Amino acid sequence: MANFETTTLAADLAGDVTPLMAQYLAIRHAHEGYLLFYRMGDFYELFFADAAKAAEALDIALTKRGKHLGEDIPMCGVPVHAAESYMEKLIRKGFRVAVCEQVEDPALAKKRGSKAVVRREVVRLVTPGTLTEDALLDARASNILAALGRSGSDFALAAADLSTGSFWVAALHEREIASELARVRPRELLVPDGLLAHESLGAVLKACRAALSPLPSSRFDSAHGERALTAHYNIAALDGLGSFSRAELSAAGALIAYLELTQKGKHARLARLKRVAPSHFMAIDAATRRNLELTETLSGTRGGSLLAVIDRTVTAAGARELAARLAAPLTDVKAIEARHVSVGLFANDSELRRRLRDALRTAPDLSRALARLSVGRGGPRDLANLRDGIGAARSLRDSLTQIVLQGEAADAAEAIVQNVAHVSRLADRLELLLVDEPPYLVRDGGFIKANVHAPLDELRTLAHESRRVIAGLENQYRQAAQVTQLKIKHNGILGYFIEVSQQHGDRLMAMKDLFRHRQTMAGAVRFSTDELANLASRIAESAGAALDLERALFDEMTALVLEHEEALGQIADALSVFDVSVALAELAVAARYVRPSLDNGLGFRITRGRHPVVEAALRAENARGFVPNDCDLSPNSARNGKSARLWLVTGPNMAGKSTFLRQNALIAILAQMGSFVPADAAHIGIVDKLFSRVGAGDDLAAGRSTFMVEMVETAAILNQATAKSLVILDEIGRGTATYDGLAIAWAAAEHLHETNKSRALFATHYHEMVALCERLGAMACVTMKVKEWNDTIVFLHEVTSGAADRSYGIHVAKLAGLPLAVVERAEEVLRALEEGREGHQPLARIDDLPLFGASAPAPKTCMVEEALRTVEPDALSPKQALEILYDLKRKLP
Ligand code: ADP
Ligand code: MG
């Protein structure tokens, strides 16, 4: 079967090829790597290998059509009106699609000769990062296209969301790339093709979950990039935008050029290129994000993530903004406080919150509507969305008149006031012309109100009148032909026609002056008349003319929208800021969060902190409440008489170590993203980088050995963490033999303490490490409190000073239902090992211990069981039975 990636066009055209197939092959060969959706009438058809792939991916029938070089041509097709949902499926499965349309009227092609083929062109390349249609997008998630540019050893990542128009670029060191990709999470990543073979970067790029689009390095040329940018913004020189490095130009230019390529020259709306510095954000690498389950859980679901627990937004744009903020906590105290101030203000005024949320709920997705209109894929519904969005902004503005705002909400309100005034002419026009709920597509018509445009009204009346006259004709013809069952009907092929049953056909046939025969069916005969044909063509003409008029009005409104693109974009942004700010206030009130205080010091003091997700889960289960815990890593803390920035956390499994570690990391993230935090009080010196690692075993990474993964990740921390960082190490070293693991954990703790000097929480099951607390001046030991009770243990989930005296591993095993014999044997082995510590030879001692099976003491059986075994119920009188029962009851432990 022809496979276009391996054959040439010339080879495919050899032999007997129809003109249509020749056109297909030429277009298909020009778009390697894409499935070609080839428009034929009401269908997009796919041929050859494309057809086989699509039929399988879409689960649709694979048929054939004609022959090529002696073999059947496989074919499948999707109807045009349903094409979006099929495309969505294909994109999700990793395909890219080239959409090829008929670009001339088939009637024109016919004039060129009977063999002439309708001209067709690819009008768009659909790739994961360049989607704008609602059907192809997740409303509450952004859809980012990124490009990694390079100039010598400098790198830069440019990123854009075509569906909303945001666009920025960041200069990067090679070692920052992984963390930046983890923050941005592009859906599609453009890279110079050479980079994929790059020793270390290649792996980083393949590990990021984006669809990779390698492009020739020439596309990443920085001079080229500069030209693409000046052309895109229609400016003479870039100076107006700011100064950009060569790597930045390379990335941003490649991205713009790719947009033009995929949009086939349609000018995508992009905001002014912004420059961001990675140091504006708390650095959080991919492993930490995954491990802390920020936007999705380890199993890949949104439910159960931090985002799901804190999201109280009421608009899709607000949800996207909240997710973006969670992905990128800030490091600038002023900027963070501007967010906190607004949240605090709304948290104190429930009535204001209610009013704002009511207004916000009526706001549709402005940015996505705007983006579609700007690339020529918009429809009347998008215009209505802008109208309603402006309306929502107006009512929001009106409910703010009595309020003195502060922080970012004050800026957002200012933006709304100014820009709403700016777009008032546009708003009036949209309100005047558009019906309440217009259709999605222009070609459906009917989206312009009645009585707002005289020529349109006239055409509509004409069509309406003609329909009325046709209805009148029916009666007239019934009388003329003396057939009471005569009917005037309409269908898509004949248009209007007169129908009578077979038995009356001859009567109408005879009236040749009036009725013209059109069609004889089984049981019915169809006719037309001059008058009917006239009226029908008048209806068709006026309907066509009306649609043309509506189309012209649509174009006029769209042009007006594009003139106000910037103001509309700012309104959209301001609305999403309000949504996020009010939503965070709502959360703070509902879940009892407090405003954290921040500065540039090294403090970290959390009073009665809680884990937001575990707390919410316990609440949902109606279980007992979450136990709050303090954490103080500040230089002036005084735990056990010394200030400790590194806490060694010991305690049995299930006692709450991991929960405690994570809750403190999450509190730092929430604070710096601008949210309140789940605690009674929190003081945090800005965290520049956050690291979180879990010892292998909890997290089964694919491919590499889990211990290798653990060590690679630990190495990254020890190489990168600074005194301003917050580090969370949860049972590292667990993935290898005891002594190795202990040695590694030990050395890592020393390095963190002596060299990195980061604030850190270190959970371990190696009790031996407690000895470090005496040696290391800034390390303190804490433990999870447990209560022993009747030979079993109860977890209190409380953090206290000191170290766990034992691991209780065997207790936990017992709770889990390990057979009693195994538990008892383990206790023996443990005793032997512990005596061994005091200088004996533990393993030799264990060898001496009798094995079960061979000579192990028979497992203790309980007295009740023993007593029951001797009882013969059939031989007992009722009185004896009752006595035995009393006896048994006494024997119960
Ligand atoms: P460890 O890491 O010590 O094995 P985890 O942190 O995984 O323990 O906690 C085990 C379980 O205990 C959690 O799933 C949670 O249900 C419960 N838990 C932990 N901390 C608390 C707390 N502070 N309050 C209430 N329940 C808690
Ligand atoms: Mg744990």
The 10s digit of each residue's pLDDT in 106-155 is: 888 888 887 889 999 999 999 999 988 888 888 888 999 999 999 989 99
The CA 660 to ligand 1 mean position distance, Å, reads: 8
Buried b (16+ CB within 10 A) or exposed e, 3-42: ebeeeeeeebeeeebeeebebbbebbbebeebbbbbbbee
Contact by Cβ (8 Å): 809, 653: yes
Instruction: Flag whether pLDDT at 755 surpasses 90.
Output: yes
Among 435, 314, 323, 423, which residue's Cα sits nearest to residue 370? 423
Structure tokens at 756: 């990195």
Structure tokens at 451: 């009585």
The CA 668 to ligand 1 mean position distance, Å, reads: 19
* Ligand found nearest the CA of 609: 1
Which residues lie closer than 8 Å to 389 by C-beta, 6 or more apart?
A: 363, 364, 366, 369, 568, 571, 572, 575
Q: Which helix (H) or strand (E) holds 394?
A: helix 380-398
Q: Range with the lowest mean pLDDT among 274-278, 399-403, 792-796?
A: 792-796
Among 731, 706, 594, 710, which residue's Cα sits nearest to residue 655? 731
Q: Specify the higher pLDDT residue, 244 or 737.
A: 244
Cα torsion 795, 797, 799, 800: sign: negative
DSSP E strand boundaries for 563-636: 597-599, 604-609, 629-632
Q: Is the CB of 797 under 6 A from ligand 1?
A: yes
The CA 248 to ligand 2 mean position distance, Å, reads: 42
| Helical axes 612-620 vs 657-673, angle rounded to 10° | 110
Q: Is the CB of 616 under 6 A from ligand 1?
A: no
Contact by Cβ (8 Å): 648, 596: no
Q: Is the CB of 655 under 6 A from ligand 1?
A: yes
Q: Is the CB of 650 under 6 A from ligand 1?
A: no
The pLDDT value recorded for residue 663 is: 97
Q: Which atom of ligand 1 is nearest to the CA of 653?
A: 4
The Cα–Cα gap between 564 and 690 comes to: 41
The Cα–Cα gap between 829 and 822 comes to: 10
Per-residue pLDDT band at 640 (split at 50, 70, 90) = low
> Mind giving me the DSSP string for 744-798?
HHHHHHHHIIIII--EEEEE-S-GGGGGHHHH-TTEEEEEEEEEEETTEEEEEEE
**R_g over Cα of the chain:** 37
Q: Tell me what the pLDDT averaged over the chain comes to.
A: 88
The Cα–Cα gap between 593 and 661 comes to: 19
The Cα–Cα gap between 478 and 485 comes to: 8
Q: Which atom of ligand 1 is nearest to the CA of 784?
A: 3
The CA 732 to ligand 2 mean position distance, Å, reads: 11
Q: Is the CB of 796 under 6 A from ligand 1?
A: no
Among 342, 317, 333, which residue's Cα sits nearest to residue 410? 342
In SS3 terms, 231-260 reads as: HHHCCCCHHHHCCCCHHHHHHHHHHHHHHH
The CA 654 to ligand 2 mean position distance, Å, reads: 7
The CA 659 to ligand 2 mean position distance, Å, reads: 7
Q: Is the CB of 653 under 6 A from ligand 1?
A: yes
Buried b (16+ CB within 10 A) or exposed e, 498-507: bbbeeebbee
Q: Which residues pair with 599 in a beta bridge?
A: 685
Instruction: Flag whether pLDDT at 843 surpasses 60.
Output: no
The Cα–Cα gap between 103 and 513 comes to: 43
Q: Range with the lowest mean pLDDT among 60-64, 246-250, 858-862, 869-873?
A: 858-862
Structure tokens at 522: 């089984």
- The torsion angles phi and psi of 759, rounded to 5 degrees, stand at -75, 130
Sheet holding 188-192, edge to edge: 211-215, 188-192, 145-151, 154-161, 166-172, 274-275
Q: Which atom of ligand 1 is nearest to the CA of 617?
A: 16
- Which of helix, strand or coil describes residue 428? helix
Instruction: Flag whether pLDDT at 37 surpasses 60.
Output: yes
- The torsion angles phi and psi of 212, rounded to 5 degrees, stand at -90, 130
Q: Is the CB of 627 under 6 A from ligand 1?
A: yes
Q: Is the CB of 626 under 6 A from ligand 1?
A: yes
DSSP letter, residue 625:
P
The Cα–Cα gap between 378 and 399 comes to: 31
> In angstroms, how far is CA 140 from the centroid of its own chain?
7
* Ligand found nearest the CA of 652: 1
Contact by Cβ (8 Å): 275, 158: no
Structure tokens at 667: 């509190």
Contact by Cβ (8 Å): 581, 574: no
The CA 749 to ligand 2 mean position distance, Å, reads: 18
Q: Is the CB of 99 under 6 A from ligand 1?
A: no
Q: Is the CB of 762 under 6 A from ligand 1?
A: no
C-alpha distance from residue 885 to each of 291, 865, 867, 893 (Å): 55, 13, 10, 15
Per-residue pLDDT band at 773 (split at 50, 70, 90) = confident
Instruction: Flag whether pLDDT at 845 surpasses 60.
Output: no
The Cα–Cα gap between 359 and 579 comes to: 10
The pLDDT value recorded for residue 639 is: 62
- The torsion angles phi and psi of 156, rounded to 5 degrees, stand at -150, 145
**CA-closest residue to ligand 1 atom 6:** 656
Average pLDDT over residues 523-529: 92
The Cα–Cα gap between 52 and 30 comes to: 20
The Cα–Cα gap between 844 and 533 comes to: 108
The CA 295 to ligand 2 mean position distance, Å, reads: 21
**CA-closest residue to ligand 1 atom 20:** 656
The 10s digit of each residue's pLDDT in 431-445 is: 999 999 999 999 989
The CA 658 to ligand 1 mean position distance, Å, reads: 7
- Burial of 143 from C-beta contacts in 10 A (0-12 / 13-18 / 19+): buried
The alpha helices in 525-631, defined as continuous H runs, are 530-563, 565-590, 612-620
The CA 814 to ligand 1 mean position distance, Å, reads: 18
Among 713, 792, 723, which residue's Cα sits nearest to residue 748? 713
Structure tokens at 695: 């010892």
Supply angle C-alpha 263, 265, 270, rounded to 5.
Answer: 70
Q: Is the CB of 284 under 6 A from ligand 1?
A: no
Per-residue pLDDT band at 850 (split at 50, 70, 90) = low
Count CB neighbours of 107 within 10 A. 8
Structure tokens at 675: 């949210």
The Cα–Cα gap between 271 and 160 comes to: 9
Contact by Cβ (8 Å): 798, 783: no
The CA 719 to ligand 2 mean position distance, Å, reads: 24
The Cα–Cα gap between 699 and 708 comes to: 12
* Ligand found nearest the CA of 697: 2
- Beta strand pairing call for 145-151 and 154-161: antiparallel
Q: Which atom of ligand 1 is nearest to the CA of 610?
A: 23
Amino acid at 267: H
Q: Mutate which of 293, 298, 614, 799 to test ligand 1's pocket (most atoms within 8 Å of Cβ)?
A: 614
Per-residue pLDDT band at 855 (split at 50, 70, 90) = very low
Q: Which atom of ligand 1 is nearest to the CA of 795?
A: 12
Per-residue pLDDT band at 1 (split at 50, 70, 90) = very low
Among 666, 778, 676, which residue's Cα sits nearest to residue 723? 778
Portion of the chain with pLDDT greater than 70, in percent: 94
Q: Which helix (H) or strand (E) holds 169?
A: strand 166-172
The 10s digit of each residue's pLDDT in 152-193 is: 899 999 999 988 889 999 999 998 898 899 999 999 999 999
Q: Look-up: residue for tokens 């594009």?
A: 562
Q: Look-up: residue for tokens 């429809």?
A: 379
Structure tokens at 535: 């009226």
The pLDDT value recorded for residue 847 is: 57
Q: Is the CB of 658 under 6 A from ligand 1?
A: yes
**CA-closest residue to ligand 1 atom 9:** 656
The Cα–Cα gap between 62 and 47 comes to: 10
Q: Is the CB of 614 under 6 A from ligand 1?
A: yes
Q: Look-up: residue for tokens 């694919």?
A: 702
Amino acid at 757: K
The pLDDT value recorded for residue 102 is: 92
Which residues lie closer than 8 Å to 476 by C-beta, 6 or more apart?
A: none
Count CB neighbours of 457 within 10 A. 15
Q: Which helix (H) or strand (E) holds 879?
A: helix 878-891
The pLDDT value recorded for residue 853 is: 43
The CA 621 to ligand 2 mean position distance, Å, reads: 21
Average pLDDT over residues 621-636: 90
The 10s digit of each residue's pLDDT in 671-724 is: 999 999 999 999 999 999 999 987 765 444 444 556 777 777 788 888 889 999
Q: Specify the higher pLDDT residue, 777 or 739.
A: 777
- The torsion angles phi and psi of 462, rounded to 5 degrees, stand at -55, -50
The Cα–Cα gap between 416 and 426 comes to: 15
Helices (H) and strands (E) in the chain, counts: 32, 27
Contact by Cβ (8 Å): 87, 126: yes
Q: Is the CB of 654 under 6 A from ligand 1?
A: yes
